[in-house]
Each structure stands twice: as structure tokens, then as C-alpha cells.
Structure 1
Amino acid sequence: MGSSQNEQSSTQIPQNTKSSSLFRYNSPLVQIILIGFVCFCCPGMFNALSGMGGGGQVNATASNNALTALYTTFAVFGILGGGIYNILGPHLTLFAGCSTYVLYAGSFLYYNHYQHQAFAIFSGAVLGIGAGLLWAAQGAIMTSYPPVNRKGTYISIFWSIFNMGGVIGGLIPFILNYHRSDQAATVNDGTYIGFMAFMSLGAILSLTILPASKVVRDDGTMCSNMLYSNVTTELMEILKLFYNWKMLVMIPAAWSSNFFYTYQFNHVNKTQFSLRTRGLNNVFYWGAQMMGSIGIGYTMDFSFKSRRKRGIVGISVVAVLGSVIWGGALANQIKHRHDEILDFKESGSGFAGPFVLYFSFGLLDAMFQSMVYWSIGALANDSEILSRYIGFYKGIQSAGAAVAWQIDNHNVSPMSQLIVNWVLTTVSYPLLLVLMVLAVKEDDDIDKVADHNGSASASAPAH
């Protein structure tokens, strides 16, 4: 797709420009680390803020409405984001996206003083636009820059750095609200100011990301020699995604992958734990994400020689683990008493079970999303194509999240939300297996195509 705008992703560069150093500034590893730190500062801190339940407020209404606005615009700009990235490149796309996170955190600082939710809702809508741009760019970078047979490893590196933001972000409200053991309390101003400082740093750091055409792998191949696209081309290519069977079978996985946050944050962390314990829980929730991404990344890169078999095994592992964890959530929901608030210092052994469940939610989230990213990355190697695929995934994901936050606003029971989440994730596994069997090429087949394209490119006349 878009072949007039883009050369093949495996174009060879002169031999004397090859380097064995992993830590070259223009190496895929360094660029993945940098985009990891950008997301550490922006969506990582946003995740910590959301993980508090209600955006750190006693009443979750303002947060739910802001998140609905956020994911509604995110659904649109997630789908458009890949095309925008192909037109603007990484610097403009990422900087514009990161800047909107600061505004969102600032709106809750404002809400702390004035209790007017209009600014929070507006900021949520603006953040949805920015998040669509950021995640489309991030997805294209994460799936197209790494070597073909190490995408799982690089995804896990990114996911670990990114979720360290959630760990640090969880420590901010935990430390600043440590002496407040009650549940019905709003986080203090310093919490929101701390989030804003990190988010501002992320916006600045986004300017260090190189475009695909300047990133060189150790074997001397360029990630992509992309010439920026145009609006007409991108609109046509984005429309084609809605008729692409590979994208259609991914819809349940995309829809469910942020849908479950509402239940986890608002009906496990927010309603079952004290304020300071919620911050502590988030430290472990996002820490579990780091563990989960490393584990599934290793499985999907190294478990078998066959790329297709690695994908099948990875999906199967997540399916089994997911069933066990959602089963544990059902047991926890059945025995939970609405008048019982758990605190890590005061609740004794009763704290352990719900805490382990919330930790396991973080583990499953990272494994599920890393698995889906790996599956998308296995469909192509070209940055231009993958930016559209990732944009489609993030758009559908955000539409699901927008619906989930409004479902919660309409007081749908926690048990009903739990069952819907369990069903949605379960339906996605067999469809991803179909994708793996029918659409994913083996590494050797990709190498042959790359060699052929490289030879053709080398013999073609210069224009």
C-alpha cells in the first residue's frame, strides 16, 4: 500500500555505515528506549492518574465524563493517527500528542478547587486527539523499527519502560497521601502538579525521536525509506482498513483491550481500597505490567523456531492465564462486601486476596496488549503500513473504552461489567489464532522477500 510513497523497508545501506553498537543514537534499540521514556512521562503518568479511580476524586462522575470524551475523540483520531503520522513524521505528531497530557492533568488540579467538570471534559476531548496521534506514532515505531525476529523483545523493552511511569506515578499519590487512610478523600494539589511536571518532560523528550528513514539496524538495513505521504493517499488507505479481513478479526481484541480498565480501576481499586492503598496498588499493578510484557515477549520471540507457532503459543498462554484471572475476579466480586474498605496497614490477611487479584490484572493487561502488538507487527514490516494498522487498533480500542466509561456512569452493576469483560477477551483469542494461521509469514519467507526487494532496489535506476 502506498508504494509510490515508500521504498521497501529492508533497503540496504552502504557497508561502511554498518555498526555493531546497540547504543547508537540511530539504532532501533535506542529509539525504542526513547519512545519508551516518552510514554513513561505521558501515558504512563496518565495511567497512574486513572488507576487511582475517579481521577483521584471522591466522585467519579467528572472523571468518567472526561474519559468518555477522551476515548470518543481518541476513537476517531486513533484511526486517523496513522495517516497523520505518515504525513507529519514523528516530531510534530509526537510533540502535539504529548502536549495534550499536561492540559488533562491540569484540568483536575482546577477541578480540585472549583468542582466544575466542563474544563475536565474539554481537556479529555483534546487529550483524545493527542493520544490518537501519540499512540499511532508509537505503534509504528515499536512494530517497524526492531529486527523482524526480535519484535517481541523490543515490545517488552518498550512496555517495561512505559509502565515504569505507572509505577513512579503510583508512588506520587501514595507518598503524598500516605497519612490519609480513609477512602472518601481527594488527592492533593501536589499529586496533580507532579503528574504535570513529568508530562511536560515527555513532550520535550518526544523531539529526540528519529524518523524511520534515519534509523539503521545492525545488519545495515534501514527501517524504512519513507517519503512523507499526502492526505488523499492516507484517507484512501485508511478506508481500505475497514474492508481488510485481518483488521476485522482483530476488532474484539481491540475493543476489549481498554474496556476492562473501567472495572479494574473503579470497581476493584477505587471501591475496595483506601486512598493511600490505591496508590500502593498502582505501583504493583504497573510493575506487574513490566513482568508480563517481558514474559510474553520472550515467549513470542524465542519459544519456537517457527514464527507462526510462537504466535499460537503466546496467544494460548494469554488465553489460559486470562481465564484463570477473570475466574478469580468473579470469586472476589461474589464475596466483596460494599461496606468493607481494605487498607494495607490495617486490614491484615483480608488485604492479600484482592491485592493479588489487582496485581494479576496488571500482569494480564501487559501480556494481552503485548501479544496483540506482536501480532500486528507480524503482519508487515513497513512503518507506513504498520502506522495505519496500529491506528485502526487504537481507534477501535478507544471506542470500546468510551462505551465502558459511560456504562459505568449509568450505574451498570460491577458483576455485569465483569462478565462482559471476560466474554469479550475470551472471544478475541480464537480470532487471533485464525489471524496467526492464515496471515503471518515465517521469518524465512520474510527474509526471502526482503532479499528480493533489496536486489530489485539496488538494480533500479535512480530517480
Structure 2
Amino acid sequence: MKFRYYSALTQVILVGFVCFLCPGMFNAVNGMGGGGQLDPTAGNNANTALYSTFVVFGVLGGAIVNYCGVRWTIFCSGFMYALYSASYIYLNHHEHDGSFTIASGALLGVGAGILWAAQGMIMVSYPREKEKGTYIAIFWVIFNLGGVLGGVLLLATNYHSQKNSLSDGVYIAFVVLECLGAMLGLVLAPPSKVTRSDGSSVVLVKYTDVSKEALGILKLFIDPMMLGLLPMCFTSNFFYTYQFNNINGALFNIRTRGFNNIFYWGAQMVGAYLISLLLDSKRFNRKVRGFIAFVIVFCVFNSIWGGSLALHLKYPEGLPEDGRLDFKDSKRVGGPIVLYFLCGLGDALYQSLAYWIIGALTNNNQKLSRYAGFYKGMQSFGAAIAWQLDIKVPKLNQLIANWVLFGCSLPPMLYVIWRIKDHSEDQTITVDTEEQYAEKEQELAA
């Protein structure tokens, strides 16, 4: 395939590598449980601060990206990830002062909300309709390769460690990688110059007006489709807290947590690829593909929570009586590691389906930037609550809450899938205002 810098595929790959180096490295550290610290309290509070600001800037992120462009928003946002990782170096030397880590988490929420709105817009609006599942998979594989690489780094640097917290050197390595990711954001092309595989422009609407963007955001909260997806959005990161802290963080020693991360984020790559084969299949229409993917997610997640319940009953106190599990202890560790792999697989299936549903609602990149921001904002609202619940709520109650929330997200998700059309508006429309866009859309429909 001939390399074309301004092609949609190239831009999705580039933003994949930005997320590989920034959110991917963050995931590797966060997946250790407690940010790689023995005491997870500071990490939990930092994540609550992170997702609290993420709620606001996730929702506003689409408007900010539309107004400021993708290059500088991603560039500035990427450095917030580096600052957050650097805060754990301070925490290593001031164990009882988590204030810097918490403040860094709040700043990261601002940056992450904007970065993920830009990423979501690029990933679901740049491809053609029949390519959206494939492009989501390509992004998800590259992005989660960051978590796999981070897991390898964590395993290698802690292989002989007797501690249960990460060293300064490990955090420094992550800071360097995240700074590189931020600078890579400047390589992205402006959407106005990007073309799809059929030669059409990805920019369906050309306008940037603050009042229009504000009105567009407010309309999200009365949009029946967005309200139908709200439980899905809320639930989609809620389970991270339980999986990272109460499975990986509580049961395993430090090197095995890194080992598990390789499989967790590797499973994400597998899951994203497999579900893309279904979501872009030509054998079924779009609605049928959505229904089949829904059934797969239903079965996998119920298996995950059933397995989590069985594991909890085996270790009700969270910590095995004869010490934390090590990956070399094959008699005890096989089942929990397989469960953690399944958690990663399920996450990729759920997130890929969620993005595919959002991408199926429209091809308008400015609408999709708002939709992606809404998704990440409401997702972060759930995550902020989940990280605080981990401090105050018993593990079994957290598990039950996760299972119930997943069940509650299913009926409205199914409703939105049922409402999906086989084709969204697909013509290239270049106008100056949203009103003109609506008029043009009506003309084309007639």
C-alpha cells in the first residue's frame, strides 16, 4: 500500500501511536493497581480527581478540538500524562503526601478529556462507513501495544525486585515516552487536508463558532440516542477500578502485575481485531452486525463477572494467606491470569462496539467530535465514582455494582442498535454554518 501522509488511514495510525505513548503508558502504570504503589490510596484519590475533571473536559473536549484543531490540543494534552507519571517519583520520596499526585491527576483529566475527544473524532469520522470497524481495530491494536510494551518494561525492571512499589527509574522511563507522544501530536495533519480511501474529504462541515459549539454540546443532553447510550458510557470504564486494584493489584506480586499487563493489553489487541471482522462484515447489514456484537459482549462480560465472583469467594480478604501470587506458581496462578486476560478481551469488545455505534450515528466529523467527547465525559463520570468506591466499599459490593451496572446498560444500548440505519449521511457537504448543513442534508434526503 502506497504511503500517503494525508490519507485517513495514516492519520488514524499516527493518533494510534500518540495514544500508544501517552494513554498507553498511563494504562500500563494504572493497571499495576494503585499506580504501582503498595498503598493504593493516593492513586485512587488521583484517579478520582482525574476523572472528575475529565467529566467536564470530556464533554467540552469536542468543542475545544473543533475550535482549536487537533494538533495543538493533542500536543498540549500529551504533556499532562508525563506530569502525572512524574508525580509518582515525588510520591516515592514523600509517601504520606499524595497532594502532588492528586493535583496532577486533576490536570491530566483536563488534558485527557480533550485528547480523547480529538482521538474519537479522528477514529470514527475519518474512515468510510464500511471501514469503521477496521479503523477502530487498527487504532485499538496500536494503542494497546503501549500497554503491552509498558507491561514488558514493568516485568523486566521488577523481575528481581522484592518491593511492591515501582522505582524512580521506571517512572522516569514512562515520563520520557509520554513526552515523545505529546510531540508526535504535532505531526498530525489538519482534518481539512485529510482524504478518505475513495478520495473524498473527511470534512463534511466547515464552521467554528463558539456559540454554535456551546449549543451543540447542550443538545447532546436532549438527544435520544445520546441518552440511550448514557448507561453504556457510564459503565464503560467503571470496571477498571475493580480489575486493576482488586484483581491485579491485590492478588499478585509486583513482577506478576507487569506480567499480567502484557496479557491484559495483548487481549485488548486480540479482541479489537476479532470484533472488527464482524463489524465490517459484508455478509450482514449494519443492524444485524450490531446485534451479533451485542450478544458476544453480553456473553463475555457475564463470564467475566461470574469468574470474578468465584475468585472473590476463593480469596474473600483480597490477599492470599500464603502470600501474593507469582506467575511461576502454576498451581495457583493459572485461573486468575486467564480471568485477567478475559477482562482485557471483554474491555476491547465493549469499547470497540461503543465506538462503532457512535460512528454509525453520523459521518459528520464535528458532530462526532462532540459525541466522542460526550462518551468520554460520561465514561469518566462513572470512573470517578468507581475509584472512590474502592476506598470505602467492600470488594464484594463493588463486584455486584459492576455486574448490575453492566446489566442496566444493555437494554438502552440494544435500543440504539435497533435504531441504527444501514447508511448515515455519506455525501461530502461543505458549508459555513450548521443551519446550512441541515438545509443541505434535507435537500439530499429529498
Output the amino acid matched with 2:213.
Answer: E
Relative distance call for 1:432 and 1:304 in structure 2 (3 A) is farther
Tell me how far apart the structure 2 counterparts of residues 216 and 353 of structure 1 sit (CA, whole Å): 47
Tell me how far apart the structure 1 counterparts of residues 338 and 53 of structure 2 sit (CA, whole Å): 34
Q: Does 1:111 align with 2:91?
A: yes
Superposition deviation, residue 251 in structure 1:
1.1
Tell me how far apart the structure 2 counterparts of residues 271 and 226 of structure 1 sit (CA, whole Å): 49
SS at 1:302's partner residue? coil
Structural RMSD (CA): 1.9
Kept in 2: contact 1:89–1:228 (CA 8 A): no
Q: Give 2:335's aligned residue.
A: 353
Q: Give 2:135's aligned residue.
A: 154
Unpaired segments ≥5 residues, structure 2: 432-436
SS at 1:140's partner residue? helix
Relative distance call for 1:452 and 1:199 in structure 2 (3 A) is closer
Tell me how far apart the structure 2 counterparts of residues 323 and 441 of structure 1 sit (CA, whole Å): 28
Output aligned runs, 1:371-450, within 5 Å: 371-410=353-392, 412-438=393-419, 440-443=420-423, 446=425
Q: Give 1:208's aligned residue.
A: 187
Tell me how far apart the structure 1 counterparts of residues 257 and 429 of structure 2 sit (CA, whole Å): 52
Output the amino acid matched with 2:44.
Answer: N
Tell me how far apart the structure 1 counterparts of residues 360 and 190 of structure 2 sit (CA, whole Å): 21
Q: Give 2:116's aligned residue.
A: 135
Tell me how far apart the structure 2 counterparts of residues 393 and 149 of structure 1 sit (CA, whole Å): 22
SS at 1:236's partner residue? helix
Superposition deviation, residue 211 in structure 1:
2.0
Tell me how far apart the structure 1 counterparts of residues 92 and 429 of structure 2 sit (CA, whole Å): 59
Q: Give 1:241's aligned residue.
A: 220
Kept in 1: contact 2:205–2:429 (CA 8 A): no
Superposition deviation, residue 279 in structure 1:
0.5
Q: Give 1:261's aligned residue.
A: 240
Which digits, 9 at most, give the CA deviation of each residue in 1:436-456, with x for residues without a partner?
Answer: 112x2113x645x669999x9
Q: Give 1:27's aligned residue.
A: 7
Which digits, 9 at most, give the CA deviation of each residue in 1:133-185, with x for residues without a partner?
Answer: 100000000000011111001000000000000001111221111102x5x62
Which digits, 9 at most, give the CA deviation of each residue in 1:195-239, with x for residues without a partner?
Answer: 111101100101111122111123121011543512211111101
Q: Does 1:43 align with 2:42?
A: no
Output the amino acid matched with 2:50.
Answer: L
Kept in 2: contact 1:74–1:132 (CA 8 A): yes
Superposition deviation, residue 333 in structure 1:
1.1
Output the amino acid matched with 1:374.
Answer: W
Superposition deviation, residue 44 in structure 1:
0.2
Q: Give 1:313's aligned residue.
A: 292
Q: Does 1:296 align with 2:275?
A: yes
Which digits, 9 at most, give the CA deviation of each residue in 1:327-376, with x for residues without a partner?
Answer: 1111111112532411012x222100000000100000011001000000
Q: Give 2:80's aligned residue.
A: 100
Q: Once the two structures are aligned, what percentage of the paired residues are identical?
A: 50
Superposition deviation, residue 409 in structure 1:
1.6
Tell me how far apart the structure 2 counterparts of residues 90 and 225 of structure 1 sit (CA, whole Å): 16
Q: Give 1:4's aligned residue.
A: none
SS at 1:218's partner residue? coil
User: What is the TM-score with the length of structure 2 in the denominator?
Assistant: 0.93
Tell me how far apart the structure 2 counterparts of residues 425 and 24 of structure 1 sit (CA, whole Å): 41
Tell me how far apart the structure 1 counterparts of residues 418 and 205 of structure 2 sit (CA, whole Å): 30
Which digits, 9 at most, give the CA deviation of each residue in 1:351-402, with x for residues without a partner?
Answer: 0000000010000001100100000000010110000001011000001100
Kept in 1: contact 2:204–2:364 (CA 8 A): no
Q: Does 1:171 align with 2:152?
A: yes
User: What is the TM-score with the length of structure 1 in the denominator?
Assistant: 0.90
Unpaired segments ≥5 residues, structure 1: 1-20
Q: Does 1:53 align with 2:33?
A: yes
Output the amino acid matched with 1:40.
Answer: F
